[in-house]
Structure formats: structure tokens, C-alpha cells
Amino acid sequence: MKYDIHEVLDMAFREKMPRIVVEGDDDRLIYTKIAEKAGKTVEIYPVEWIDGLAKERGNCGMIIQAMQQLQPKFEENPKWILGIIDADARDFRPISPKFPDEGNFRSLFNLLVLKYYSVETYFANAENLKKLFAFMSYALEVEIGAEMLQFLAENHENDTEFYYYLSLEALKRANEDTYISVGNISYGGDERFDETYKQRIFPKLQAKKVDLDTFALQKNISLTHLKQICKGKWYLWNYVYRAVFQVDKLIKACEKYPHLPKCANCEVDKSKCNYRMKQPYKSAISLLYNQMLTYVNESECEDIINAMKQLG
């Protein structure tokens, strides 16, 4: 049985247990982990659990609608419910003519709009990469220094341009109903882009560069907005994908890369390098992706943590 949003607020108040309304099922684990860092015990409700909202608005629009309905109640009960929505590059696309009321989303009390396109991007950072490398190899987290991290992150930069133009293409399509995008690129799909895809699509995107740059200029977008316009699932997946290929090179790193510090084992016994992988991870990138989503970086997630701390 679904819940009425007013009922959810009443329950939260009665039980003194804050509720957080999120977009999807797969967000429950992510936000539970973040709430732990905020020191809060909360219950997370995917918006599909809430009744009486207009499905045609999409999950994000449904959260906006739910929070709109609760605004008058927040005068009495301000601290028991929080809605969280992805930014979805909403600042760079038109408000749906079907739902003009969604235009006030930034002024709604107890609605947090993420700083990036979606929450997954909060997990793509060097600190998390260090944790992931420790998870995959026999090296300890404390042994992975700045030089090693830099080596592992090296290739990510080469993808920046590809993901920038890919995202601009998706955004242009989101702005113009009749726009035909390269390779049918849109924010709607859940594709994971591998090297073959990139090699096929990148030249086509580059051929459109002048148009896409003009579009970016009109929208006041530059490379610095990459995390705001690139879908989080694309961004994090690529981050992990690149790292796995770099890590692979490290299997005999201590021999092959004399500029990097040797692992603790190779100092003693060269037959058992600590940078060797526990298993072949190239075919298990999804597993690593999900592993990354369990590492909450407090400074990166500060806006979410602070909003949660206001609760209860």
C-alpha cells in the first residue's frame, strides 16, 4: 500500500524519525550511507512509494509536487522530511510547458537540489579511487600515495572532451524536441560507453563541434560545468572503467614503473607484488561501480550531509 505524503510527514513527526524522499529504489542505499555520515537515523522513501502524485511529471517532478503540497505544513513541522532531487541540468533546459509550476523548485523549503547532474558523480573522486584500489589489490589504503593516485587517474583527463560534447549533445536534444542527436544520444538511456563506442561516436561529435560550442555559449556552459551536464551514471562509470585499465598496468608496476614508489612487498620479496589484483576486474566493472557508491566522501557530500543534519 502506498503512502500519502501528509501521512509520511505525520509519521515522521510522531515517531521522531525523519523521512527522506528520493527519486529511485537504487538511491536508498546511497542516501542511507550518507545519512550515517551525517549521524542521522532516517527512513528513505523512493517517490514511487507515495500516492496521489502525477506520474507523468517523472520521479523528479513528483518529488517537487510532494514538497509543494507540504509547504504550508512546514511552518509547524519544519524538520521532519526532506526531498532530494538530481540537478538534471535543470538550469540549462526549459521548464516543461506542461508543468510550469515546477519552475519554483529552488524556492521550496526542505527540497535539496544536488550540485551535480546526479548523485553518482559525488562518488567519482580521487579519495574514493584510493579506497577502490585498496579493495582490488593487496595494497593497504595508507600505502597508496599521491603519485600512485595521479598515475591511476591520469587517463581520466583524456575523456573530458568526449564526455563534454556527449553531454552537450544530450542537453541540446533535451532543449529541442525535433533535434536528431548523434547515435541517438539522450539523457534517457542507461548506456555504459566503452572504448569501441567512444571511437565510433567521438569523430561524429567532433564534426558537430562548432554547433555544440555555439549552443554551449548560448547557455553559458563551459568545460567547468562538466559535472553539471554529464549524467552521473556516465561520469562514475567512466571513472571506474578508466581506473580498472590503469590498475591493470600496475600488476607489475614495481618493475615497470621505476618512477613510482615500490610497494611494501617488493622491497622484500619481488615475487609477490602488493599491487597485484585479487581477481581479474575488467569483467567486473559493475561490481566496482557499486563498490564506489559505498564510499561517502564527507567534503564532496557536504551539501547533502548538511541538509540531513537539519532534520529531526
Rounded CA separation 262/114 (Å): 40
Amino acid at 291: Q
Stretch that binds Zn ion, among 55-63, 98-106, 112-120, 252-260 (CB under 5 A): 252-260
| Separation of alpha carbons 142 and 138, rounded Å | 12
Cβ of residue 250: shortest distance to Zn ion, in angstroms? 8
The verdict on 139 binding Zn ion (CB under 5 A) reads no
Residue 295 Cβ, how far from Zn ion at the closest point, in Å? 24
Q: Rule CB under 5 A: choose which of 84, 273, 307, 311 binds Zn ion.
A: 273
The least distance separating Zn ion from the CB of residue 276, rounded to whole angstroms, comes to 8
What's the min distance (Å) between Cβ of 264 and Zn ion? 8
Alpha-carbon span 245 to 13, nearest angstrom: 49
* Residue 111 vs 263, nearer CB to Zn ion: 263
Binding mask 203-242 for Zn ion (x = CB under 5 A): ----------------------------------------
What is the closest distance, in whole angstroms, from the C-beta atom of residue 240 to Zn ion in the complex? 23
Farthest CA pair distance, the chain: 68
250 contributes a contact to Zn ion by CB under 5 A:
no
* Cα 60 to the center of its chain, rounded Å: 15
CA–CA distance, 23 with 59 (Å, rounded to integer):
5
d(CA 120, CA 113): 14
Number of residues that bind Zn ion (CB under 5 A): 4
Alpha-carbon 279 to chain mean position: 26
CB 61 within 8 A of CB 25: no
In 10 A of CB 157, how many CB atoms?
9
Which of 27-35, 163-171, 173-181, 266-274 is the region at the interface with Zn ion (rule: CB under 5 A)?
266-274
Which region among 112-120, 213-221, 226-234, 253-261 touches Zn ion (by CB under 5 A)? Answer: 253-261
- By beta-carbon proximity to Zn ion, the closer residue of 170 and 273 is 273
**Among 111, 254, 296, 304, which residue interacts with Zn ion (rule: CB under 5 A)?**
254
Residue from 42, 63, 113, 266 binding Zn ion (CB under 5 A)? 266
Give the nearest distance from C-beta 147 to Zn ion in angstroms.
14
Residue 148 near Zn ion by CB under 5 A: no
Q: Is 145 exposed, middle or buried (CB count within 10 Å of its CB: 0-12, 13-18, 19+)?
A: exposed
Instruction: State the Cα–Cα distance between residues 179 and 173, nearest whole angstrom.
Output: 5
At residue 8, φ and ψ (nearest 5 deg) are: -60, -45
Q: Give the binding site for Zn ion (CB under 5 A).
A: 254, 263, 266, 273
